Amino acid sequence: MTVFNRAGLLATSFAASFALAALAFGAAPHAQEPAKNPVVATVNGAEIRLSDVEAVRGQLPPQAQNYPMETLFNLIIGNMVNTRLIAAEAKRTGLGDAAAVKRRLASIEAQVLEQEFMDRSLEGAVTDAALQARYVAFLKENAPGEEVHARHILVKTEAAAAAIIKQLLAGADFEKLAREKSTGPSGKNGGDLGYFTFERMVPPFSRAAFQLRPGSITQRPVKTRFGWHIIKTEDKRVTKPPSFAATKAQMAEEVRKNLSEEIIEGLKKYAKIEIFGPQGRTKK
């Protein structure tokens, strides 16, 4: 417990997270073998197993989950014991029969059942074949395009921009002038904007940059809502799609999302759903 005394972090910042997680997973099923899922505490005879503690840990903020179980155990158990004691006393006094409490309990039960049902339904569905198929679709949806590497000098008036173009045509160094005269944040870097696709910039700027040949500059100032630009296109290239390995986690999330939506839509076909809006049902 000395870790928490020094850091002053988990006992306060994550108290609400522990309480909510302990409530949601206080009666989690114990599918593991007893030897691997030992009883780690009892409250008036009711067991708390290691899987219950691990379920609560899994609901904590990421920075808390990074702590080893040996560090988190006492804090989690303390919160779970408190939750069990208070819940038992609430039941004893009849609080569990209150309509508002029943609605909240039903909402929590629905969320837990939803998560458990979806986890079981999707178990084994995110296969390599499914991920590869989603990656192929991703490549079709994100066909290679063109991007340019450009620099610019941004000034407030058309006259100032025209004067700079004259200097450049006379042999002045673009990067040097950008550092001296540009009012944009890229000025200190010689006006360098790096590589960008057409949609990354405002249309007038992109049209001018993409029309230029590498190494050339705009012959007339380009106006945007930011001011007047002199643009130099350094290079053009075709974009490369990300590799399968780089997008695997994203593909897995999309496969799960698509399958989840299919399951939900299938359930809706056989359900009677009525939505009345914030004013509620109107009497007929």
Q: What angle do CA 134, 135, 141 make, to 5 degrees?
A: 90
Averaged pLDDT, groups of 10, the chain, 284 residues long: 39 48 48 75 94 91 88 93 94 93 94 93 90 91 90 97 97 96 96 95 97 96 97 94 90 92 94 89 72
Which CATH number characterizes residue 215's domain? Answer: 3.10.50.40
pLDDT of residue 3: 36
Q: Are residues 85 and 154 in the same domain?
A: no
Which residue among 74, 93, 112 closes a domain? 93
- The torsion of the CA quartet 176, 179, 182, 186, rounded to 10 degrees, works out to 120
**From CA 269, how far away is CA 273, in angstroms rounded?**
10
Cβ atoms of residues 30 and 40 within 8 Å: no
Domain end call among 93, 124, 156: 93
Question: Is the domain of 89 the same as that of 155?
Answer: no
Q: Are strands 222-224 and 192-197 parallel, antiparallel or unpaired?
A: unpaired
pLDDT attached to residue 284:
62
Give 126's DSSP letter: S
DSSP 25-82: TTT----S-TTTS-EEEEETTEEEEHHHHHHHHTTS-HHHHTS-HHHHHHHHHHHHHH
Can you give the pLDDT at residue 7?
40
**Which amino acid does the sequence have at 242?**
P
pLDDT for residue 144: 85
Cβ–Cβ under 8 Å, residues 139 and 251: no
- Please name which of 73, 57, 95 lies closest in space to residue 1, comparing C-alpha atoms: 73
The Cα–Cα gap between 159 and 181 comes to 13
- Asked if the structure places residue 193 within a domain, the reply is yes
Based on the domain organization, do 87 and 155 belong to the same domain? no
Containing structural domain, residue 23: 2-93
Question: Could you tell me if 166 and 229 lie in one domain?
Answer: yes
Cβ pair 179, 163 in contact under 8 A = no
Asked if the structure places residue 278 within a domain, the reply is no
Is residue 103 situated within a structural domain?
no
**Residues with Cβ < 8 Å from 236, sequence gap 6 or more?**
146, 147, 148, 149, 210, 214
Same domain, 232 and 167: yes
What is the bridge-based pairing of β-strands 192-197 and 39-43? unpaired
Give the chain's domain count.
2
